[in-house]
Amino acid sequence: MSRAKREIPHYYLSTTVDLAAALEWMHRRNSTLPVTERLVPAALLLKAVARAAREVPELNGHWREDRFVPAAGVRLGTAVSLRGGGLVAPALADVDRMPLADVMAAMKDLVLRARRGRLRASETADPTLTVTNLGDQGVESVLGVIYPPQVAMVGLGRVTDRPVAVDGMLAVHPTVTATLSADHRASDGATGARFLTALDRLLQHPEDL
């Protein structure tokens, strides 16, 4: 982390995403399924981040030998806090192409095995983009530190109700703050903005994830 802050010129962008459509769709879906097969918001968010990374490949890859090397696929690092202290960020491969049910199952399995110290070596190798989600800790926004040689990190806060304008009327909707930390050597603010815009758009149409 010291190397990351010393060597990587970070820039930060954030946006507030309206999750009303996503959570309403999720609750309708969950109502038809047994408890063991139900989704949680984190699964929707991970899938949307992975799809956005596929759409904006300038943020999905590694900085090697003074240049950006785009990755062939999306290996989404997922930051997991360990019960004894510390942090590990194992990777889920091809989340952008998985059905949501598979994303949910893979996420639960990865977190469980990470906390038991049972990760496979392949799961800790070369994530192409990392997500840190501290929503369950009550944090509203996260300004992450990029893991070298990656060039970006996505921080997600807790889902919270906020007033939003809908068709000229004020309503209260569930929202989440998504923050992008990115390496200015590999991309610029316009690229980062495209990523966050894609993330927002994808979450407005959860049935397509």
User: Which residue from 127, 177, 118 is spatially nearest to 147, judged by alpha carbons?
Assistant: 127
Backbone angles phi and psi of 71, in degrees to 5: -85, 150
Q: What share of the chain is helix, strand, coil (3-state, %, to 5)?
A: 40, 30, 30
Whether 89 contacts 60, CB under 8 Å: no
Q: Which is the catalytic residue, given 27, 161, 184, 205?
A: 184
Q: Is 147 helix (H, G, I), strand (E, B) or coil?
A: coil
Q: Which is the catalytic residue, given 96, 188, 205, 208?
A: 188
Judge whether 184 counts as a catalytic residue: yes
Judge whether 62 counts as a catalytic residue: no
> Using the 8-state DSSP alphabet, how is residue 173 labeled?
E
| Cis before 149 (ω within 30) | yes
Q: In sequence order, which residues have a C-beta less than 8 Å from that of residue 73 and are 6 or more positions away?
A: 93, 94, 96, 128
Q: Which residues are the active-site residues? A: 184, 188
